[in-house]
Amino acid sequence: MSYNGSGTFQINTTGQPVVAGTVISSTAFNALTADLATGLSTAITKDGQTATTARIPFAAGINSTLVTDSTNSTTGSILTAGGVGIAKALNVGTSATIGTTLGVTGVATFSAQPIFSTLTASKPVFTDASKGFVSTGTLAPDQGGTGVANNVASTLTISGNFATTLTVAGAYNYTLPAASGTLANLASAQTLTNKTLTAPVISSIVNTGTLTLPTSTDTLVGKATTDTLTNKTLTSPTLTTPNIDSAQFATVSGTAPIYPCRAWVNFNGTGTVAIRGSGNVSSLTDNGVGDYTVNFTTAMSDINYSVNTTCSSNGTSNFITTTVFTNSTTGANVAPTTSAARINTGVYAVGTFDPTYVNVSVFR
């Protein structure tokens, strides 16, 4: 007797099958019982007395109603001294306990955040809090780390009269946690972005970057070179013999304020009036003999400005007179405007005349 390879036990001993009227033979009967014993010995006993000698295929799977402690490696529903090979997915209803090492050759996808009681990281990605992948373990140097516990503050204390060099390869961030922390004597050039320097001492500034002093109490001193300031406002500056548009201001004595000229013109008042030179004067209007209007390119802030006028003589020894804000024909006052000033030139006891040289300057 034997199994036919498909799990069917066949009775094929001599004298079998028995037909009616056959005399019972001890030889045939003993052979039958021996074959039955062999077949039963090949079967799996439910009390666990025997061990299988080959892999057993379960076409409909395995169901177990045994309720045991799943965290115990000796009382689980399925125990194996070797590995477990799973061709498709492994679905765990509650939790899975790995006694030694779990090796994953492909990609492991966690639908919920996993909890690792202990973790040995393999390569650079050690912590990703967004995926719940957080460890407080140690990433060794051969694993891309420093050998220092991850997410654990460390303290480097150096004391004594010894020079110490800290060399770190790669890109790292160093944070001085307290206001009293100091990072000094960095010899190489560094780019600081969005950093606040409190009371820094800057020996030199290189490159074309912008240095902004955000408050009125900040001070920038000791700049020995010449700089061009564009669209800058200097409030109450102290300027020592400054150069303005390549011209140098003379040394000023005393503390009285200086008010620059706001407009000026030198023109020929005879015939068709013609400007020889000017500043902030756009044009001249000839109102008649010895009567002119000076038009400003940029208007004055108000009409409270001062006009100074001089002119050349008419070729006689008579006194020359000049007036402002006057109509030379009627003698009536002409109110000044922010855009123009009216002037007159004349000769005592003669009347108005057109000078060859007329000079006007305006201050405010």
Written as tens digits, the pLDDT of the chain (364 aa) is: 567 777 787 777 777 788 888 888 888 888 888 888 887 888 888 787 888 888 888 778 787 777 766 566 666 667 777 667 777 777 776 777 776 777 777 777 777 666 666 655 554 455 566 655 555 555 555 555 555 554 445 566 666 666 666 666 555 566 655 555 555 556 667 777 777 777 777 777 666 666 666 566 666 655 566 667 777 788 888 777 777 777 777 777 888 888 889 999 999 999 999 999 999 999 999 999 999 999 999 999 999 999 999 999 988 888 999 999 999 889 899 999 999 999 999 999 889 999 999 999 999 9
Residue 129 in any domain: the answer is no
Q: Residue 203: in which H helix or E strand, if any?
A: none
Task: Find the length of the chain.
Answer: 364
Structural domain count of the chain: 2
Stated pTM of the model: 0.41
| pLDDT in the model for residue 113 | 67
- Tokens for 288? 């008649």
Classify residue 145: in a domain, yes or no: no
Domain around 352:
261-363
* 332 occurs within a structural domain: yes
Query: Is 203 domain-assigned?
Result: no
277 is a domain residue: yes
Token pair for residue 14? 């001599």
In terms of C-beta density within 10 A (0-12 exposed, 13-18 middle, 19 or more buried), how is residue 32 classed?
A: middle
For residue 327, tell me if it sits in a domain: yes
Q: Is residue 70 in some structural domain?
A: no
Pairing between β-strand 340-347 and β-strand 291-296 as defined by DSSP bridges = antiparallel
- Residue whose C-alpha is closest to residue 320's, from 290, 276, 363, 362: 290
The answer to whether position 290 is within a domain reads yes
Residue 127, pLDDT score: 59
- C-beta contacts of 338-341 below 8 A and 24+ residues apart: 338/296, 338/299, 338/300, 338/301, 338/302, 338/303, 339/295, 339/296, 339/299, 339/300, 340/285, 340/293, 340/294, 340/295, 340/296, 341/293, 341/294, 341/296, 341/305, 341/307
CB-based contact 242:249 (threshold 8 Å): yes
